[in-house]
Structure 1
């Protein structure tokens, strides 16, 4: 049973709301990516994974995994004291989780009395750290949209002092895409006495690399853009973001310099500078020294406010009738301007296709950002889905480690929940999400003397280091790769592979694969090997048929029991 997509109209994120008929299932799977944007009238509603055709099991697994990191391993420390997470798909909030504590520690080494620990709430306000860069980037793109700034114009055309030390050719695009040549960071807070001298230090800073020759993530890029926004608008950055972004979208819990309340998550205990337990003011020392308002850090928000921003972008720049960007501008945000630097895909302010935290949601049209304090947002335009994870991982100390594993798990849970359905009445074999593993699907064949033709449908969504190999063997010990011809429906290009497939994050369409098999008794197998770091969605194989001159040798739909599988799961659709 299927039901066509319906537009959701209403206000806010309403508890218990539903927009699908009882028992109905979504016809759209991960293998049927959306194009363009969601209907502009789409407003977030609470629902369940099943209500929009998602598999709840991966989502529940992700919840448990993310929760488990709040418990210290023997001899170790927890990754964070608490978290708030949200997942949404096609306008429906399908999962939330609130767990742990917003405040737990007195110092870097001493806990508060258990009776005064402050629990996380769904409306806990988090220091977003570098996720703030997205707000500055949107403010700049709004200026581009209005014609007040040209993307390829020199920054010095708007900030003449920026031309110092040989930066005359740095453009607005260079700053937005971290290809300016700037160094990553400067200790502005400790090296200069006041805000004016700190800003001047950025303007006077020479480049570390020639303009446009390297991708190097730099806070200085966004500090500069924050100054540019203030100069052209005649307002402080916090006033601009409030007037032109958060207030129109109804993001009432988002802004700079909040006060410390029970709703505010604590960050780090800082002895140098002597700030004590930081709570209600920005954690980043440079942003703090700039008064809490800077282009690279300083924004505080909640998971529900960020959900509204994510949906507004999926809607093409509008939410509940308030338009903050036009559709062309949103397209620019998620256009890869750094193709010269493979692996560092970057739109205007937004990172793209980063498997190290986007995991199974990764793809060319997946945008997002992370924050040093333990925050992340992942927005997949192809599936109209997003996953937000907010933690206070630097509470009480930044030295307690990275939370990338949790970011991956949260995004992976939603990515794996998106169905990949066999075409028609077929079966499909799918690999599971396992690090450092080998999954093997095999079938014995008796290929006639004239040879045979192999055909199957394939979705392979893997990172470069997770490799699918299609192989044959006559003795079970020596294996030979089977050269493949791969074609996507609707695509006139045909790809030829040596028998291996990898490096295809976001490849969610069924491809048609064909190959010639030699004569004789043999075993055909699909073998996926994964490394110990990130995972893509994995591999799905469907409609397997081997046909020789005398007829069908193997029909995977008619006789799936002839296959042996380790690490693969059989799915049926009738």
Structure 2
């Protein structure tokens, strides 16, 4: 049996049992459950490397792929709550060059809900191009939308981070990673990074890609092993290269679950948190090929979670964070061995189910 480290309080021991069952034939992972902003489960186990020579430790972090989008969305919600960013305004109000090629009517909320018509770049891109912020953003500013903004949704897997990130940069004068570090992670003491400083390299768990399935993933074609390279870590890719663990993801996202305040730190008003539930799209996402409901920067519950006022998002290969604003609960699962499905797999759902089981037992 794999040893699970960390603490679970009382009835949340069932979450430890769930992680132990997962890691019996997996690699490494961390799980956190926050209730009323406080940790009731903070556990981890397994290995940080594919060779199983480096244990997953308390401070191990890993690339969490699109779970990063929840951090980027939170930055936008914070700016909106402060009155610095109007989510219903044209993007070009803040980023004038963006009005090119018929995008004058693209709104900030379209960026947050994958409805802007910019799910990828039209010009060929390489992974290296993602490390050039000016190139990535200027190309998006110059191209035409692929559909009338707001009428359809197609997952902006990588582009969303550059789009929202550039708006944040224009509004604040700071890059998304810097704004997040100074205004979110710093005040909360959360070990989450968008653009990873070199001093943290020694504790990064290697991403283990899934078996190849013969499909190219958008433009640029992205090999998941790219996440193990130093250029990827150093860049700011606000839709895909956040580094953290379940504890730090939960520490940040529990602010949203708890009406804007967690552990004595207020980042949002209760009204600012409610904006996440302003539905922007309901239907089939044309990139994912799956039924989705999008609010302001998060996926919204379609009946799969026990709590109706739930928002979530996950990362390529399996990471996931779920915020239940009625239960004031946040559940996070971060791992390093990727599953083959873009939309994740059953591991995180097993953890979320266990957390709700514990909650109902209270």
Scaled to the shorter chain, the TM-score interval is 0.7 to 0.9
Summarize the Cα distance change of 1:83–1:185 in structure 2 as closer, same or farther, 3 Å threshold.
farther
- In 2: Cα distance, 1:353 partner to 1:184 partner: 26
Summarize the Cα distance change of 1:250–1:377 in structure 2 as closer, same or farther, 3 Å threshold.
same
Identify the match of residue 179 of structure 1 among 103, 109, 115: 115
* Structure with more contact order per residue of length (Cα contacts < 8 Å, sep ≥ 6): 2
> Is 1:374 equivalent to 2:322 in the alignment?
no
Summarize the Cα distance change of 1:362–1:282 in structure 2 as closer, same or farther, 3 Å threshold.
farther
The corresponding residue for 1:386 is 330
> Is 1:102 equivalent to 2:38 in the alignment?
no
The corresponding residue for 2:218 is none
> Is 1:232 equivalent to 2:178 in the alignment?
no
- Report 1:434-513 matches (<5 A): none
The corresponding residue for 1:408 is 349
> Is 1:140 equivalent to 2:79 in the alignment?
no
Identify the match of residue 151 of structure 1 among 84, 87, 106: 87
The corresponding residue for 1:161 is 97
Q: CA deviation at 1:60?
A: 5.3
- In 2: Cα distance, 1:236 partner to 1:252 partner: 18
Output one character per residue of 1:311-361: Cα deviation in whole Å (capped at 9) or x when no partner: 222222123332211211111123333257794222211111156xxx5x3
> Is 1:349 equivalent to 2:297 in the alignment?
yes
Summarize the Cα distance change of 1:87–1:145 in structure 2 as closer, same or farther, 3 Å threshold.
closer
The corresponding residue for 1:279 is 228
Q: CA deviation at 1:198?
A: 2.5
Identify the match of residue 207 of structure 2 among 258, 263, 267: 267
The 3-state SS of whatever aligns with 2:10 is: coil
Do the aligned partners of 2:317 and 2:342 also contact (CA within 8 Å) in 1? no
Give 1 or 2: higher helix fraction. 2
Q: CA deviation at 1:387?
A: 1.6
The corresponding residue for 2:253 is 310
Do the aligned partners of 1:89 and 1:384 also contact (CA within 8 Å) in 2? yes
Do the aligned partners of 1:333 and 1:348 also contact (CA within 8 Å) in 2? yes
Output one character per residue of 1:95-144: Cα deviation in whole Å (capped at 9) or x when no partner: 34322211125xxxxxxxx6xx1111122112121111122222222222
Summarize the Cα distance change of 1:95–1:164 in structure 2 as closer, same or farther, 3 Å threshold.
same
Q: CA deviation at 1:362?
A: 4.5
Taking structure 2 as the reference length, the TM-score comes to 0.81
Summarize the Cα distance change of 1:354–1:388 in structure 2 as closer, same or farther, 3 Å threshold.
farther
Summarize the Cα distance change of 1:340–1:319 in structure 2 as closer, same or farther, 3 Å threshold.
same
- In 2: Cα distance, 1:216 partner to 1:275 partner: 21
The corresponding residue for 1:299 is 242
| Structure 1 unmatched runs, 5+ | 1-14, 17-45, 71-80, 106-113, 422-574
Taking structure 1 as the reference length, the TM-score comes to 0.53
Give the number of equivalent residue pairs: 338
Identify the match of residue 10 of structure 2 among 25, 48, 51: 48
| Structure 2 unmatched runs, 5+ | 1-5, 211-220, 286-290
Do the aligned partners of 1:389 and 1:410 also contact (CA within 8 Å) in 2? yes
What is the RMSD computed on CA atoms of the aligned residues?
3.3
Identify the match of residue 308 of structure 2 among 342, 347, 364: 364
Structure number with bigger Rg: 1
The corresponding residue for 2:216 is none
